[in-house]
Each structure stands twice: as structure tokens, then as C-alpha cells.
Amino acid sequence: MSRPGAYDAIIIGSGPNGLAAAIALARAGRRVLVCEAEQTIGGGARSAELTLPGFTHDVCSAAHPLAAGSPFLRSLPLDQYGLEFIYPPVSLAHPFDDGTAALLERSVAATGETLGVDGMAYRRLMKPLVADWALLAPALLGPPRLPRHPLALARFGLKALRSARGLAASRFAGERARGFFAGLAAHSFLPLERLATAAFGLVLGITGHAVGWPVARGGSQSIANALAAYLRSLGGEIVTGRRVASIDDLPSARAILCDVTPRQLLRLAGHRLPPNYRRRLERYRYGPAAYKVDWALNEPVPWKAEGCSRAGIVHLGGTLAEISAAESAPWKGEQADKPFVLVAQPSLFDPTRAPAGKHTLWAYCHVPHGSTFDMTERIEKQIERFAPGFRDCVLARGVMPPAALERHNANLVGGDINGGAQDLRQLFARPTRRLYSTPARGLYLCSSSTPPGGGVHGMCGYFAARAVLQDGL
């Protein structure tokens, strides 16, 4: 790292996007260095013993439809570098108070069968979109541009641009399908009445059928480790424990790619950026936060509804009305009484996560940006509602409110896990219309604050690297 001029490109941050950018550049013959602030690589794809020895928890990401469906990550030989995806038989369970659950299965028809009166309506909505996934994925997991398959994109776009509530209410007659779709769309972190929130529900639903929602054997850290090992095999270098305070502190390189959010870019490189671009970055909006809890369990969660124990992810919120209220609250600065809780139970499918017979559980809900309110009790109450006796299974818990998340990873500004709000405006101009490039030659953004946004898919990094290569650097 002390050899000036030794690198063509330096990447600040070793999240999935930073590593993807480094790999794309190394594959193009560039000499790359990744500088990571923390002692462990991986950003939002790290795992750690957050509760008791022998219990491995995913600190951030847990379910990986976007990694498994990512056109770039799929093109890499990550299985040769230790990555194995495990596919739970059911991607998602959505239990209701009557003790039953809607299930996202690989088959659209089987999923429809769990949706009561709306089985046929679900099939009509999803079947054509699932069939189009191979054409849609490159467009949806990339920057806005002229579509290669305009018909497929139009079929998707007409539905996707609607609000999740609007689409669910017009397509489905019963509470089961409406609640199920609301849970999928709630991954947007947006009020479900906002335009284009249907897109999140549709994409996650489609990936459930077309790709599956796998977990990574050994923990999400295995994704970062495989990316890093492959990068090193290409000659790339990674240093950890190296928090970059200013790009002026880096050795010279033709390109610097920042796997950080706009607020951090201003600190790192504000002095190199013109005032109007700086102002645009200052106006970039962050969204609500995650409040996360991990548990070490003595036994699996005693779900009431059949099917929940076969699912990698469980959505707790019941009806569209309840989930919609829970998702609007953080935007009003309020804590939901009954938060919408996203639960992951990887140890049911990956025995490496916990000692024999024991289990790990991961959950978070959405709270206002920077909130300091303790949501642990409300989260556990939601689990207990659908799994009476849950608390008796708990051996230990680890709690990460927004501030703890930000301490773990500086990109989680105020606890926002997506690198900024993902509303319509910031989906297309993310973080500005320049997307990956900046007005300073050789300086780029490659984080989830660029298209296509949050998630472990590496596509932001891949497209940032392409911008570097297109600029001839």
C-alpha cells in the first residue's frame, strides 16, 4: 500500500459492491487495492458470534435472492471459493392470526394455493412476470437506460409503478393475498401508498419463483469471503483496519471508487467537488432505520402455522392494514405499536450456524431514522403472537438499534440499510443524475447509493467499474 503508482484503482470499502467493483476491474487487467475501515471484510455481508460462543449470526443481510439472481455475481466462480447457497424448501412464510400461513414456494401455483380466494388472481399476476425474469433482471438490476426488451419491461412497469396498496387492493379480493403482497413490498422501507412500491413486492415475489431465497452456508460472511478470495486470485489486494479519512491520504491511482454513501463522500472528497454537485449530495435523502435483534435459541421457534418451519424468512404483520400502518409510522417519526417484523431462521437449513440442536434467529423492524427507542419488547411480542412459547426458547439475545448498526458499518447512516431512501426520484437519479461518476475525474461512487440500490447483488459495483473502464481509466 506504500508503493505510489502501484495501483490503477483504489476502492474504499469492502462491501459486496466494493468487492464486485474491484473484481470487475481486476478482470479487465487493472491493479486494484481495496481499503476497508473495519477489521473484517464484507460490509453488509458479515457474520459474527453476536450472542453466545458457537452461534454464528448474520449481522446484516441474511436472505440472498438478489445475490443468487445477480447477473454479475452469477458470472463469477464463487462456488470454487467456498460459497454454497442453501435453498430452504419455502422462501417465505406469512402467518395470520387464524394459525395458517401464506407460503412463497418455487411454484407459482403452489403459492397461489395458500392464498385462498386469490389463488387464481396471484397466478394471473405472477406467471407472465416470472416467465420474463431472464429478460427483466438485467434491466431491473442496473441503471436506468433504454430497455433491450421494451415489451417485457412495459408489462412489468405498468404494474410496478403503482403503489403496493393500490396493486394489492385492485388485484386481490381477500386479506391473505393482500397481506402477503404488503409484506413483500414492505422491503422498500416506504409507505405502501407511495408510487412504485409495488415494484419491490413484485421483484421479491418473482425472485421467490425464478431464483429462490437462499442463505449462505456458514453465514453471509461466506459471500464476502468468496468474493475476496476470487479477487486475490486475480491479483487484487485488500487491507483491513484502514479507515480512509480523505482521498488525499491514498496513494495515487487513476481511479478511486467509493463504496460509501453521499454524506461520507462529501467528507472524503468534498474539497474536490464543485459546489452544485456538493449541494445535490447534501440534498440526498436517507430513509428510516432498521432495529435489529438476534437470538440464540434452545430449540426452533414454535410457530403455530404449518409451513413456517420450512421457510427461510417469516414476515410478521398479518394484514395489509396492519403492515401499512407499521410502514407509515417511521416516516411520521413514530414507532409502530405492532411493527412489521422480518425474521430469518437460517440454522434450520444450515447446521453450521449453531451447536447441535440449538438455533439462531435474526429479525428487524423499521423505525424512524436515528431512533433511540427500544423496540425489543414489541418485536418479541410479534413473534410470540405467531409462535406462543417463543420466549421460553431464548438462551441469549443481541440487540442492534440504529446507532449500533452505524457503529458496525459507517454506511448505515442513522440506521438506513439501503444507502438512502429508495423512492421513485432516488431510484432513477441515485444519488444524482450522474449515477456512478462524479464531476472530479477519476472519482466514482460504487455503493448501494447508486442504481440499483440496496441488497447484496454487487451490481452497483459492477456498473461503477464499467463507468471507469468506459472513461478509459
Ligand X SMILES: Cc1cc2nc3c(=O)[nH]c(=O)nc-3n(C[C@H](O)[C@H](O)[C@H](O)COP(=O)(O)OP(=O)(O)OC[C@H]3O[C@@H](n4cnc5c(N)ncnc54)[C@H](O)[C@@H]3O)c2cc1C
Binding site for ligand X (CB under 6 A): 12-18, 35-38, 43-45, 60-64, 66, 243-244, 259-260, 264, 290, 292, 364, 405, 409-412, 417-419, 447-448, 454-456, 460
Q: Residue 382 or residue 418: which is nearer to ligand X going by CB?
A: 418
Distance CA 416, CA 45 (A): 15
Q: Residue 115 or residue 422: which is nearer to ligand X going by CB?
A: 422
Distance CA 114, CA 101 (A): 7
Q: Residue 194 or residue 430: which is nearer to ligand X going by CB?
A: 430
State the minimum distance, in angstroms, from the CB of residue 171 to ligand X.
Answer: 26
Distance CA 311, CA 348 (A): 9
Distance CA 364, CA 161 (A): 27
State the minimum distance, in angstroms, from the CB of residue 166 to ligand X.
Answer: 26
State the minimum distance, in angstroms, from the CB of residue 41 to ligand X.
Answer: 7
Q: Residue 177 or residue 314: which is nearer to ligand X going by CB?
A: 314
State the minimum distance, in angstroms, from the CB of residue 355 to ligand X.
Answer: 24
Do the Cβ atoms of 362 and 58 come closer than 8 Å?
yes
Q: Residue 126 or residue 293: which is nearer to ligand X going by CB?
A: 293
The residue assigned the cell 438476534 is 294
Q: Residue 25 or residue 417: which is nearer to ligand X going by CB?
A: 417
State the minimum distance, in angstroms, from the CB of residue 128 to ligand X.
Answer: 25
State the minimum distance, in angstroms, from the CB of residue 362 to ligand X.
Answer: 8
The residue assigned the cell 445477480 is 70
